[in-house]
């Protein structure tokens, strides 16, 4: 959750998350260019806690 209007890993998604990670990775002495080619391995489920929310939203005849 966002606290005090600050960005955190819990409220950043997609490219915003990668952009936020780059300075952290550079500061730790790693190559941030590897993030540009980040790939999700086959069979790995991203955000499994969101599956129920999305399934319910898709199935709902009258989305809120």
**From CA 17, how far away is CA 9, in angstroms rounded?**
7
Predicted pLDDT of residue 2: 44
Domain presence at residue 47:
no
Predicted pLDDT of residue 29: 93
Tally of structural domains, the chain: 1
Domain presence at residue 59:
no
Domain presence at residue 28:
yes
pLDDT for 14-54, tens place per residue? 777 778 888 988 999 998 888 778 777 888 887 888 888 88
**From CA 27, how far away is CA 52, in angstroms rounded?**
37
Domain of 32 in residue numbering reads as 1-36
**From CA 63, how far away is CA 50, in angstroms rounded?**
16
Q: What is the pTM of this model?
A: 0.42
The two structure tokens encoding residue 45: 């489920």
Domain presence at residue 41:
no
Domain presence at residue 3:
yes
């Amino acid at each position: 959750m966002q606290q005090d209007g600050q960005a955190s890993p819990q409220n950043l998604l997609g490219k915003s998350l990668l952009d936020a990670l780059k300075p952290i990775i550079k500061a730790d002495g790693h190559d941030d260019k590897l993030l540009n080619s980040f790939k999700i391995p086959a069979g790995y489920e991203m955000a499994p806690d969101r599956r129920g929310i999305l399934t319910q939203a898709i199935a709902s005849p009258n989305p809120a």
